[in-house]
Structure formats: C-alpha cells, structure tokens
Chain A
C-alpha cells in the first residue's frame, strides 16, 4: 500500500494544478493538491508524502513560510523531497531555498520532462522508512486506522481550541478552579487521542491541581494557574 509515490502539490492556479497532475499522476503516483500553506501544513500533519512541490507566490502565506516551517519541524516533512515550482527563481532565492532543503527547482513555465524528473528515484525507492508521524501513530492507536475521521475531528478541534483558550484564560483570571478542572479534563484526552501525549500530560497535571484547589489549597490553585499558559501554548501550536 505504501509503495505508491505520494505527491503534495501546493499551487493556487487550478490550471497549473491540472497540468501537474496530468504530468505526474499514473498508477504509481498519487497526487494531492492544495492551494495554500495552511492547507499544506494540515495535509502534512496528517499524512506523509514522498515529494512536496510548492509554488512560492501563494494567497495568504508565502511558500517560503511553508518551507521554513518544514525546516523547523522535520517531523512534518518526514522523508519528503522538496521541490519549488515558481517564476523568477534567481540565484539569491535559489540559495535561500537550498538552505531550507529544497533540491529541485522548476521555473515556470517548465517542461513535462522537468516535472517528471522530480520523481527520479522515488518510484523505485524502498517504501519510506518506518518512522510514522505522531499523527499516523494516533490514527492507528486511537482511530482504528480511520484517517478521514481523524482529520475531520482535528479540523473541528482547531475551531474549538481558540474558545478553549479564551475560556481557560478567563477561568484562570477569576480563579475558577472547577471550570479549569473540567476544561483540562476534556483537553487531556483530546490531546492524547490527537497524538500529543506531552501536552496531554500537562493537561492531566493541571486537572489534578485544579481538583486539589477545590479543597481550598492556595498552592494547588497557584500551580494550576502556572500550568495553564503551558497548556495554552501547546494548543496554540495546533491551530
């Protein structure tokens, strides 16, 4: 199953998306297209790819943002080869891209041959080394292998996390330990099932502290208040 070559294309021009998919897709190559950096990051967070081809001029965040994020978070990139598909790749830009790990440069307009050469060596390569991302591990462990369900749940979590953050801050400010306990309690298992065991542990400790605070312990309330920003930061990273 994993022997197919998985390609992620980040390109906002639908015509070019079609061109690339016609050039690359066949029985062995499966391409997924998206039109923005944020979408690409969501795709990379939940699936692994062998090749990422990205435009630079994208609506919203610039393609460089994507490449910089992949440099900072190698787990997201996995073993993917990085290619840039853009007009006007001058030597200075090329150098910058090389520093970010890009090894293939496609100047628009480019030929079919150039595009297809991005796949060189990938078709015959052994299946990617068994280093599943935390997301794939979570999909296997908590979602019975159902990647679509995981993604649908993650998308909803990302809508709810900003509200959780707002509620948590308010509960902290007001010293409402019961609300804080319930919030931490819920986030504990949410974060665990999404594959973020460390953040889940922060939530678990916060839940315990908030529960202790109910007995009137000032220390426990102070500990809960100190733990909240750590949990908040973990949530913000997932947005």
Chain B
C-alpha cells in the first residue's frame, strides 16, 4: 500500500490546488517530509487524520489487485507493539520487498488470532509484547500444522543478557536486534522468501 503521497497526488485526491496543499502542510494540518532530492512527501496517516476529522472517508489502499497470471503475493505478519517499529518495518518492506503483503498485530493475542486468519508465510515477532510475550506466542503457534512451513524471524531490542530467559524459544532461529534492523532485516527476509519460493513454486515470479 502506498504510504506517502506527493503534493500533487494529495491535491488531486482533495480536489484542491497544489498551493493550497502546500499551505496545509505549512500550517501543520498535514505532516510531510522531504526526500534528499527535495521532493515533498505527505504522510498518508496525516491525510487520513485530516479527512476523518472532517467526517470524510480515509484514503483507500491503492487498487493493486494482481492481474491474471501474476503470482500470489507472499503474506507476512508482524507482531509488534511499538508503532515506531511497525512504521520502520513497513517502510523497509515497501522499499526492499514491495510485493510482500505485510500485516500488523499490536500484541500477542491479536497476533495469534491474525495468524490463524491470515496463514502468513512469514512471521516477524517482537519478543517483549504486552499480554503474552513473543517466545510464549511462538511456543503456542508450534501446535498449529501450518506453522511448520512458516518462516519465523524474531525482532527485538532486548540485549543478549535480557534475551537469556527466552533462550529456549529463540534457539537456532533468526533474530534481528532492533538497532540493526535496517541493515539486518532485508537479507534475512530475502533468504526466507527464497526458501519459500523453493518449497512453493507458485510464489516464484
């Protein structure tokens, strides 16, 4: 799903002049950032907040229904309570693996429910979660037959010492330390995608 819009795209969606949208950014009604090349990008979340604040419908996910013959998209579920890291993983996935269909659950219980509904091929799990923690969550998921074919990656800010109590669940599984997320997650994700494509050729492009 597209996450940031150009000023022109927002102007088109709102039926306003580009200049009016620039002024909305200026007044702080919309949040924006600039690319190093100087292009303004407006956050979808801020546009949605602006729209719903006026009783209007938020933006819809882009109509990107896969065309006939396109391979099915791989589904990934991120179970993470920190909005900041939900954002970062989403930005990263969008940049590195735009075809990945990424879903998010905010806590362990929600994660269990969504796992059952989505049956994702890839699971990204934070360890320290409200409710049940990531290690307990994974232990409980092991009883589901689908889990055997899921690729699991732990994502955590816990240092080695803090991870010790969870060692039983983490043994031998790929793990990303959050400060290294941007550099370490994409290669692990890439390797997971390759393994899935080797097992299930329908996902190979």
Secondary structure of the A contact surface, majority rule: helix
Instruction: List B residues 28-85 near A (Cβ within 8 Å).
Output: 28, 31-36, 38, 41, 43, 45-46, 81-85
Nearest 8 A/B pairs, CB to CB: A155-B33, A186-B82, A189-B157, A32-B38, A189-B178, A156-B87, A190-B84, A147-B36
Within 8 A of B (CB), among A144-161: 144, 146-149, 151-160
Smallest distance from the beta carbon of B154 to chain A beta carbons, Å? Answer: 14
**A144-B183, A189-B179, A193-B178 known; A156 and B34 CB under 8 Å?**
no
CA distance A34 to B38 in the complex (A): 8
Question: Given the known A-B contacts A154-B33, A189-B157, are A159 and B183 also in contact in the complex, defined by CB atoms under 8 Å?
Answer: no
A146-B128 in contact (CB<8A): no
Residues of B in contact with A (beta carbons under 8 Å apart): 4, 19, 22-23, 25-28, 31-36, 38, 41, 43, 45-46, 81-85, 87-88, 91-92, 95, 128, 130, 157-158, 178-183
Do the beta carbons of B23 and A47 come within 8 Å of each other? no
Query: Contacts A155-B43, A178-B130; is A149 near B92 (CB within 8 Å)?
Result: yes
Cβ contact within 8 Å between A155 and B26: no
- Whether A115 is near chain B, meaning CB under 8 Å from some CB there, is no
Range, interface on chain A: 35 or more
B33 touches A186 (CB 8 A): no
Is A35 a contact partner of B179 (Cβ separation < 8 A)? no
Pick from A59, A142, A182: contact of B130, CB under 8 Å: A182
Chain B: CB-nearest residue to A30: B38
| CB–CB A155/B31 < 8 A | yes
Contacts known (A32-B38, A147-B36, A152-B41); A159 close to B31, Cβ less than 8 A:
yes
Contact in complex: A34, B128 (CB < 8 Å): no
